[in-house]
Amino acid sequence: MGLPIHLLHTPDGFLSGPIAIAMWVVTAGVIAYAVRRTNESLDERAVPLLGVTAAFIFAAQMFNFPVGPGMSGHLLGGVLAAVMLGPWAGTLVMTAVVAVQALIFQDGGLLVMGANIFNMGVVGTLGGYWLYRAIAGLLGGEERRRLPAAGIAAWTSVVAGAAAISVQLVASGVAPLGVLPIMVGAHALIGIGEALITVAALAFIAKTRADLLRLRDAQPV
């Protein structure tokens, strides 16, 4: 079985049943909590942005960019969604995007959807947001250092997601431990594109509709 070393949308058959089920259980719990936190904290003016952001990320993921011989990547968008909407709403946006891609376009399997949502919507979005807030704070505040913090967090979110699926593949017994540096190395390159697109999108929004960046709950998780 050839491993999809540059894809985070893992197909069915690459994770064992127990690992896939365990990831579904964990992911379902996070989604349920995200729904509750979003209902409690998201400014009602930002609600329409959930659909708009999901549509933008979904469309942007259709376009691949080359990162090396025979290898390409595309936007994940978790950090972008979290910076605009907050970490929990961002997680729900990524959940919707991954689910639509799997159910309609067969981009990732149904059994492993829990793992795919976890890797991109939990590790990539929640983890990326926490890192973003930490870096922004260290650099002098979110308003002043939004772009560099988002760029670093976006790159890290891709690498972290790749590390997560690598661990799941190893735990499933379908890949040796050596898959970890291969996956991380490939996604370190893909993460550069993720960082550039995320920074460009946020810079454009800050210039044209800065008010959209102030709608989410600014309190840390």
Q: Which domain holds residue 88?
A: 17-214
Residue 157's pLDDT band (cuts 50, 70, 90): very high
* CA 44, 48, 49, 51 torsion-angle sign: positive
Residue 7 pLDDT > 90: no
Query: Does a structural domain hold residue 6?
Result: no
> For residue 60, how far is the Cα from the chain centroid?
13
Strands (E), the chain: 65-68, 71-73
| The pLDDT value given to residue 131 | 96
Q: Give the 3-state secondary structure of residue 69.
A: coil
Query: Does a structural domain hold residue 11?
Result: no
| The pLDDT value given to residue 72 | 53
Q: Burial letters for 11-26: b for 16+ Cβ neighbours within 10 Å, e otherwise? A: beebbeeebbebbbee
pLDDT in tens, 27-59: 999 999 999 998 887 767 677 788 888 888 888
Task: Give me the CATH number covering residue 84.
Answer: 1.10.1760.20
| The pLDDT value given to residue 168 | 92
Query: Does a structural domain hold residue 8?
Result: no
Query: Does a structural domain hold residue 12?
Result: no
Q: How many domains does the chain have?
A: 1
Residue 6 pLDDT > 50: no
Percent of the chain with pLDDT over 70: 87
Query: Does a structural domain hold residue 63?
Result: yes
pLDDT in tens, 69-107: 555 567 789 999 999 888 999 999 999 999 988 888 777
Q: Please, what is the Cα angle at 70 between 186 and 154, to 5 degrees? A: 35
